[in-house]
A and B are shown apart, each in its own frame.
Chain A
């Protein structure tokens, strides 16, 4: 067995895939335009949630104003857990944004890869309540087709006749990023021509929030929820849980060009690793995160100096932000403009990586980095240029989006200019 290398070079040349479509259903809004406005405005959308009333942490980041019946129709939306409602809506947006038409495409060449951590666990929790209160005879038979983690990808296939490989990945908070990486591999393999890659999560249940609170992961700033998610700030005390979905349409560059598609940006590199260390804490030196970042850079054939922007995992927890900052500095240096969009929308768990990769695509497209919400006093241990207050305009040829999950699962994508 050979020792793990920190700088793999398994690919001699870069394989770029085009990002031709984006779909976003997040606490910052429904659709790309609302997300652009809210994220670049840089103010937190966290608020008190009636559903969490009475818990020690009673706030979260929800997709307010999302009407599944209006988006999907009553009949369709009733057959889905909220996670699938969000995911299918994001997929529809992404397909439309890419200028693709499911009525006319060869669906057998369209793959779906969706990351999620908890799938339809909210449905499971609700039916468990029913079971306890009313007994087994009135438990919904549909639970077994709403709760499983595979169903969002399945529903996307049904909704837009995407009949190619249909995959679900679950690497906790790195799930959405892993999905993009796997989607890119599918394109490189030739198994499909189009990939709908993304993540979806809707698990803001009382049990889930109670557990996250007890493990010490959540901010306890109940007196001011909007100030609770403050990545890289000296006074941060945990993350704010959120829900949402993000889907990217990926195509091989040549295919995208041949059909005259608008190419928003490229996914040029992917890296993944495991800490093999602890169920929830990052490796003290950020070993796994470092290997994933170096792998993504090698995959993209990029020199660290070329990375101008990092959309950090930046959870607003004590340990993650310091460890990640240390690794970014070690692997890339102090020069990139760093942001954590979790300041605005909280932590979308399995959807986070996909949504944040989409924001990295928008940052590259706009040549502008959104600010980190609530960053008032940078933690002195964070020796990075973290954007705060206002968006920062810069030449951004390449950006990195980091995701590090419970279980020590790490995934990183490199986004470059079209």
Chain B
């Protein structure tokens, strides 16, 4: 069964074309060269995949992948 990280990484690749092999927990969204439109696209993709709505603070450019995954995990547990 896919983990939240697997699903999130698949989403980054499919939706934004991000190559996930070199990602670490400390990689920030802004270092992935995502402009504001792409970050909104990411939030839409997250909502579609996880039925979780992340706001602009939770998906701020300076957020790291680790932080986003932590937030996602928290929100998923809160809604389960």
Contacts and interface: CB of A to CB of B under 8 A. Distances in A.
Interface of A: 73-78, 130, 134, 137-142, 145
Interface string B25-58: 0000000000001101100100110000100000
Interface of A is mostly: helix
Nearest to A75: B17
Contacts of A74: 13, 17, 19
Nearest to B15: A78
A136 to B, nearest CB: 10
Contact of B44 (A76, A77, A137, A145): A137
A75 B41 CA distance: 13
B69 interface: no
A137 B53 contact: yes
A116 to B, nearest CB: 22
Contacts of B48: 130, 134, 138
A139 B16 CA distance: 15
A270 B55 CA distance: 54
A77 B13 CA distance: 12
Contacts of A75: 16-18
Given A75-B17, A140-B41, A142-B41, 8 more contacts: A74-B13, A74-B17, A74-B19, A75-B18, A78-B17, A134-B48, A137-B47, A138-B44
B contact residues, range: 10 to 19
B41 A141 contact: yes
Contact of B47 (A76, A77, A78, A138): A138
Contacts of A130: 48
Contacts of B13: 74
A78 B37 contact: no
7 contacts: A74-B19, A75-B18, A130-B48, A134-B48, A138-B47, A140-B44, A141-B41
B1 to A, nearest CB: 23
A154 to B, nearest CB: 14
A134 B51 CA distance: 10
Contact of A141 (B16, B19, B44, B53): B44
Nearest to A74: B17
A77 B17 contact: yes
A161 B9 CA distance: 32
A307 to B, nearest CB: 48
Contacts of B15: 78
A30 to B, nearest CB: 21
Given A141-B37, A142-B37, A78 B44 contact: no
A155 to B, nearest CB: 14
B34 to A, nearest CB: 10
Contacts of B44: 137-141
A73 B40 contact: no
Contacts of B18: 75
Contacts of A77: 17
B46 to A, nearest CB: 10
A84 to B, nearest CB: 15
Contacts of B17: 73-78
Nearest to A137: B47
Contacts of B16: 75, 78
A73 B13 CA distance: 12
A134 B47 CA distance: 10
A139 B45 CA distance: 9
A116 B3 CA distance: 43
B2 to A, nearest CB: 20
Contacts of B47: 137-138
Interface in B8-23: 13, 15-19
A72 to B, nearest CB: 10
A74 B41 CA distance: 15
A130 B48 CA distance: 10
Q: Which of A73, A77, A78 has the most chain B CB within a 10 Å cutoff? A: A78
A141 B40 CA distance: 7
Nearest to A73: B17
Nearest to B39: A141
A260 B53 CA distance: 59
Nearest to B19: A74
A48 B66 CA distance: 46
